[in-house]
Structure formats: C-alpha cells, structure tokens
C-alpha cells in the first residue's frame, strides 16, 4: 500500500511537471484552438469592389516578431468589409478609413454605424474582422478570443488593409486613415511607430491619420519616430479601463515626436459609449497602475523584469501559453469591472469630433464636410 501511494504521488508530480512545461502547455492549446480557415485572398481591388474581402496578412502575436523582420510570423488571410460612397470612381477617388473593432469584435451600433457616417460624408470604410480569419468564432469565450489574437495581430491586419486599399482606383492612397475602438485603438496607436510601418508596409508612407477611441494606455513602445500623421483621442471620464493620466503621458510622448494630438474627453461617459445596451458595469479585466515598457527588440518589461521568457524562435502556441500561464506579474496589475454602454452625448460628440478631424486633415470639400441637420 505504501509503495502504491508513493508511486501515485510520483506520477502526480510528473504530471504536474509536464503541465507546467511550456511545450506541453502549447500542445494542449494547439489541440483546443481551431486551425486557420483557408480562404481565397486578393491582393488588388477593382474600383467596383464592395462587401466582404479576404486579403493576405500575417499572425505575429508579439511585437518582437515584427521588429525581427516577421521571423516566425504565420501567413494569415485577413477579412474586411468595404463600403464606398456613391460616386467614388477612378475619376473621383475618395479618402478611406480602416476601422479596427474592440476585443469583443464588431459590435451593434458602432463599427457599421461609423462606416455609414463616413460613407455619407464621402469617405470609404473598411471594417477589419480579425477573429474569424484566425478561426476564433463567437463559439469561443471572450478571454480565449482576446488572448489568442493580440493588438500586434490587429496592427498587422491594419497595414495589410492599407496596402490593399491603396490598390483601388476608387480610393486615394494618400488619404487612408485608421481608427480603432478599445483593443483596436491600442493597435491604432501602435501603428504610429514607424519601425512597424517599415516592416509591414515599407513601400507606403503609412496612414494619413489615426483616431483612438478609448484605447487603454498601459503600453510604452519606446517609439522614437512616426510618419508625422496626426492623432485624435476620445475618452470618457467614467471609464476605469482608460487611465487618463497614462493616456495623457502617451499623448505627450507623441507630441514630443512632432505629432499633432487632438484630445476630446466626455464627462460621465464610460467605455464603448456607442453600444446599444444601457450603461452598466461589466466584469471584464483591465490593467491599471502598471506600465509595460518595450525594449529595442520588442520584448515587454514590467518593473525591471521581462514579462515573458519568449525569444525569436518561440512559436505562436508557446507565446499563447506564456500569456495565459506566465503573466502573473501583469495579472497583479489587473482589476475587474468597468462602466460600458450607451451614452448619447458621447456618441454624438464622437461623431462630431471625428468628422471635424477628417475635414481638417483629409481636406474634405464643403459638401463632404457638411453635418446633417
């Protein structure tokens, strides 16, 4: 009996040890996660192109993969929904905005409503769906979806979308901007780093402008150069997921690099104020009181320690395992629950702020810039 117990304990120790071993964790994650769907992608657009469009992109997961020249990146088919205003043609090309949803994906009352608003003002819209092309349907939990598709994957899709839209005769390649909500807004700011543009779209001058709708601000990329495009930021005073002091610091860092920053803050607004649901507290995690510093290789540090032990040869599945099982230091910074939901004043304020920003930097005609009465 004693020998049996000792043998069982030894087996238990071995099993626990295996589960703590990163390759085994990655194997289990790979068994559960879906494979990337196989879609036919297009690399160039006709002037008449509309609707859902698959395009070539890549899955990088972490910043260091981009800075390392895409070593280890996994080829991916991106997906976007293109809507173009009436009258757009090769003879009359229009500006365009790439729209990056938040971590919950495309939400009722938000991305599609902004696309309609843009179209009414003579601007094309391309809503990027970054979950479905990576197999992450709504059948998977929020935590698994947002934990396996990162802000660096989103920024990769954004630059892939920029290259695609630039091929359309109906779109002015010099007037393509990017806007994002929450998770997508983090990617919108990340896209300002010119090191990223130089890898993901080396033949392009980059986005003409950036609009950040309530993107959390705990990441400090160490950006030393942008392409000079302006930045619009919009936040709510009641949104705990946006540390307003940290966001102000990020904006000052961009201004120090010569970026024009236009700020709007809406009193009493929480997160995702365009949502159709009433304002209420959710139970989702957010990071506050901590700052991730990225070194020159693109690895994240927190309080003088590397957040993860990944290196250039670490696979995507191992990186996911590191994020889920090895980020105890970052989770010490996590809090839960923030105000989210409909705020009419902030929604209208966001519409007006964006249109004013686009009117200025896209040099819209008076007819395009006219506000509906």
* Confidence bin at 22 (pLDDT 50/70/90): low
Q: Is the pLDDT of residue 13 over 80?
A: no
Query: Is residue 335 within 8 Å of residue 241, measured between CB atoms?
Result: no
Please check whether residue 27 lies inside any domain of the structure.
no
* Structural domains of the chain, count: 1
Is pLDDT above 70 for 18?
no
**Per-residue model confidence (pLDDT) at position 198:** 97
What's the pLDDT at 326? Answer: 65
CATH classification of the domain holding 148: 3.40.50.1820
Structural domain contains residue 5: no
Structure tokens at 202: 């080396």
Within a domain: 166: yes
Residue at 25 is within a domain: no
E strand map for the chain: 51-59, 74-83, 94-100, 124-128, 171-181, 210-213, 219-220, 231-236, 261-266, 280-281, 285-287, 292-294, 300-302, 305-306, 334-336, 339-340
Count of C-beta atoms within a 10 Å radius of residue 92:
11
pLDDT tier for residue 308 given thresholds of 50, 70 and 90: confident
In 71-196, the DSSP E strands lie at 74-83, 94-100, 124-128, 171-181
- Cα–Cα distances (Å) from 225 to 1, 69, 195, 222, 233, in that order, read 68, 18, 8, 9, 19
**pLDDT for residue 327:** 63
Let me know: does 148 contact 183? Beta carbons within 8 Å. Answer: no
Interval 309-315 mean pLDDT: 87
Residue 199 lies in a domain: yes
369 part of a folded domain: no
22 occurs within a structural domain = no
CB 237 within 8 A of CB 266: yes
Q: Identify which has the larger pLDDT, 186 or 28.
A: 186
More confident residue, 30 or 255: 255
DSSP 38: -
Q: If pLDDT is split at 50, 70 and 90, which confidence band does 270 have?
A: very high
Average pLDDT over residues 139-147: 89
> In which band, very low, low, confident or very high, does the pLDDT at 15 lie, cut at 50, 70 and 90?
very low
Longest dimension (CA), the chain: 88
The whole-number average pLDDT for the span 69-96 is 95
Closest CA to 262 of 357, 359, 132: 357
Q: Which of 99, 173, 165 is nearest to 354 (CA)?
A: 99
Confidence of residue 288 (pLDDT cuts 50, 70, 90): confident
State residue 370's pLDDT score. 61
Residue 146 belongs to some domain of the structure: yes
The pLDDT tens digits for 233-246 are: 999 999 999 999 99
pLDDT of residue 47: 95
pLDDT digits (tens, 9 = 90+) for 90-133: 999 999 999 999 999 999 999 999 999 999 999 999 999 999 99
Q: What angle do CA 22, 32, 144 make, to 5 degrees?
A: 85
> What is the DSSP pairing of strand 171-181 with strand 210-213?
parallel
Q: Taking 60 as the threshold, does the pLDDT of residue 55 lie above it?
A: yes
Concatenating the DSSP letter of every residue in 148-180 gives HS-HHHHHHHHHHHHHHHTT-TTEEEEEEEEEE
The pLDDT of 16-40, averaged and rounded, is 74
Confidence check: pLDDT of 168 > 50: yes
How far apart, in whole angstroms, are the C-alpha atoms of residue 271 and residue 301? 27
Is the pLDDT at 277 greater than 70? The verdict is yes
**Domain of residue 232, residue span:** 42-363
Query: Which one has a higher pLDDT value, 358 or 32?
Result: 358
- Give the pLDDT confidence score for residue 373 in this predicted structure: 41
Axis crossing angle, helix 2-19 with helix 22-32, rounded to the nearest 10: 70
| Mean pLDDT, rounded, of the chain | 90
């Amino acid at each position: 009996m004693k020998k049996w117990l000792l043998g069982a304990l030894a087996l238990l120790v071995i099993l626990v040890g295996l589960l703590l071993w990163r390759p085994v964790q990655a194997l289990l994650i790979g068994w559960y996660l879906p494979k990337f769907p196989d879609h036919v992608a297009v690399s160039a657009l006709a002037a008449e192109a509309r609707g859902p469009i698959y395009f070539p992109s890549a899955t990088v997961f972490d910043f260091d993969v981009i800075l390392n020249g895409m070593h280890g990146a996994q080829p991916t088919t991106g997906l976007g929904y293109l809507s173009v205003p009436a009258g757009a043609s090769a003879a009359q090309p229009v500006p365009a905005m790439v729209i990056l949803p938040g971590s919950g994906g495309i939400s009722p009352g938000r991305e599609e409503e902004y696309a309609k608003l843009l179209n009414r003002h003579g601007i094309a819209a391309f809503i990027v769906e970054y979950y479905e092309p990576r197999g992450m349907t709504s059948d998977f939990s929020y935590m698994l979806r947002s934990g396996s598709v990162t802000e660096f994957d989103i920024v990769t899709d954004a630059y892939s979308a920029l290259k695609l839209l630039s091929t359309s005769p109906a779109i002015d390649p010099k007037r393509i901007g990017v806007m994002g909500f929450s998770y997508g807004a983090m990617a919108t700011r990340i896209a300002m780093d010119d090191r990223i543009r130089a890898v993901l779209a080396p033949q392009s001058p980059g986005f003409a402008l950036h609009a950040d709708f309530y993107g959390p601000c705990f990441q400090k990329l160490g950006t030393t150069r942008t392409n000079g495009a302006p930045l619009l930021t919009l936040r709510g005073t009641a949104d705990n997921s946006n540390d307003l002091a940290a966001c102000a610091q990020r904006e000052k860092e961009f201004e120090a690099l010569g970026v024009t920053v236009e700020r709007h803050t809406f009193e009493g607004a929480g997160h995702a104020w365009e949502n159709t649901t009433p304002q209420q507290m959710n139970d989702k995690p957010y990071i506050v009181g901590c700052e991730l510093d990225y070194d020159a290789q693109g690895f994240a540090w927190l309080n003088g320690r590397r957040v993860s032990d990944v290196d250039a040869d670490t696979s995507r599945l191992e990186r996911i395992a590191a994020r889920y099982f090895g980020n105890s230091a970052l989770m010490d910074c996590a809090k839960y629950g923030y105000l989210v939901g409909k705020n009419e004043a902030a929604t209208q304020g966001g519409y007006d702020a964006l249109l004013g920003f686009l009117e200025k930097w896209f040099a819209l005609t008076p007819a395009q810039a006219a506000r509906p009465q």
